Amino acid sequence: MKDKICVITGGTEGIGKATAFGLATRGAKLLLHGRDPDKGARAVADLISRSGNSSIAFLQADFASLADVRRLAAVIRERTPRIDVLINNAGGINGTRLESKDGYEMTFAVNHLAGFLLTHLLLDTLQTGTPARIVTVSSNAHRGAKMKFDDLQATRGFSPMSAYGMSKLANVLFTRSLARRLQGTKVTATAVHPGFCRTSFGRDVTTSGLVKLIFQFVARFARTPEKGAETVIYLASSPEVAGSSGGYYFDRKLAPVSPTAQDDDVAERLWKASEQLTGIA
């Protein structure tokens, strides 16, 4: 990975930061996205200190705003002539229904639409030069989810886990559609389940008592962020998966997905809806 240029969204804490450290120690040049400039500065300083790699920079953007996603893409294109790896890692869960600056349900907007738009805007840069990889962090939470095309914005009976599961299903379907569109190019797309990790994930669900209790219980058995990042790093760097595209991985192995996640009709319907919602149709 020496001198490979890697963009990591949500790269200032948790799995994203652990991924950044792993790639930094391998000699990659990193562009880390985050929402908080102060946290970003601290993360960069810590990563440089621990890895000895000074080629790490922070880029600020709020993924609750599609305009900010567009601005981030423009900044990245200005800073680098190519991208070797794009890791769509940013995401979260909300205890109550919130809306993004564009009026979309926040979980769906941040976990899916932001990454969908950023990937679209960076495709030309990814296709420049050497083979490139797109890795999207999903979750096994997709397994019990359905794409509610009649209510993508969860305006009826909002459930934190239902909204999260649908957004993670969207990640897998997006990867499937993207891989199909990238056939014949030097760019691959894969999705990953990092496992449930001890991070700040879920800290904002305090208004939902049941969900909060669930997180507190399962956190006792959670993985470290470093363990969760292992397969992300593997998909970003390993020659074993060079040229592999469209797969969903867990613990460095291909893993099964839900029947809905294998449905190309659903994937295409989501792609078209995402194009409309992000304004790139």
Tell me the per-residue pLDDT of 91-148, one tens digit each, with 9 for 90 and over: 999 989 999 999 999 999 999 999 999 999 999 999 987 899 999 999 999 999 999 9
Identify which of 62, 47, 45, 46 has the alpha carbon closest to the alpha carbon of residue 6. Answer: 47
Block residue for tokens 């009649």: 150
Q: Answer whether 11's CB lies under 8 Å from 43's CB.
A: yes
SS3 content of the chain, % helix, strand, coil (to 5): 45, 15, 40
CA distance 278 to 264: 21
What DSSP element (H or E) covers 250? strand 248-250
SS3 258: coil
User: Which pLDDT value is given to residue 191?
Assistant: 98
Tell me the per-residue pLDDT of 223-259, one tens digit each, with 9 for 90 and over: 588 898 999 999 999 999 999 999 999 999 999 999 9
CA distance 148 to 146: 6
Domains and CATH numbers, the chain: 5-278 (3.40.50.720)
User: Which pLDDT value is given to residue 110?
Assistant: 98
Tell me the per-residue pLDDT of 157-168, one tens digit each, with 9 for 90 and over: 999 999 999 999
Identify which of 76, 83, 81, 37 has the alpha carbon closest to the alpha carbon of residue 60. Answer: 37
Q: Is the pLDDT of residue 149 over 90?
A: yes
Q: Verify whether residue 164 is a known catalytic residue.
A: yes
Whole-model pTM: value is 0.92
Tell me the per-residue pLDDT of 56-99, one tens digit each, with 9 for 90 and over: 999 999 999 999 999 999 999 999 999 999 999 999 999 899 99
> Distances in Å between the alpha carbon of 117 and those of 66, 67, 70, 250, 281?
8, 10, 8, 25, 11
Q: Is the pLDDT of residue 186 over 90?
A: yes
Contact partners, residue 189, CB within 8 Å, separation at least 6: 133, 134, 135, 136, 175, 178, 179, 182, 245, 246
Query: What does the DSSP assignment read for 129-196?
Result: SS-EEEEEE--GGGTT----TT-TT--SS--HHHHHHHHHHHHHHHHHHHHHHTTTSSEEEEEE----
Of the candidate ranges 46-50, 220-224, 271-275, the one whose mean pLDDT is the lowest: 220-224
Question: pLDDT-based confidence at 274, cuts 50/70/90?
Answer: very high
Q: Is the pLDDT of residue 201 over 60?
A: no
User: Which pLDDT value is given to residue 225?
Assistant: 80
Q: Which of 164, 234, 248, 249 is catalytic?
A: 164
CA distance 159 to 97: 8
CA distance 274 to 109: 10
Q: Is the pLDDT of residue 197 over 50?
A: no
The tokens of 65 are what?
């705003």
Tell me the per-residue pLDDT of 205-221, one tens digit each, with 9 for 90 and over: 444 566 666 666 666 66
Q: How far apart are the first and last CA of the chain?
A: 35
CA distance 47 to 60: 17
Tell me the per-residue pLDDT of 170-184, one tens digit each, with 9 for 90 and over: 999 999 999 999 999
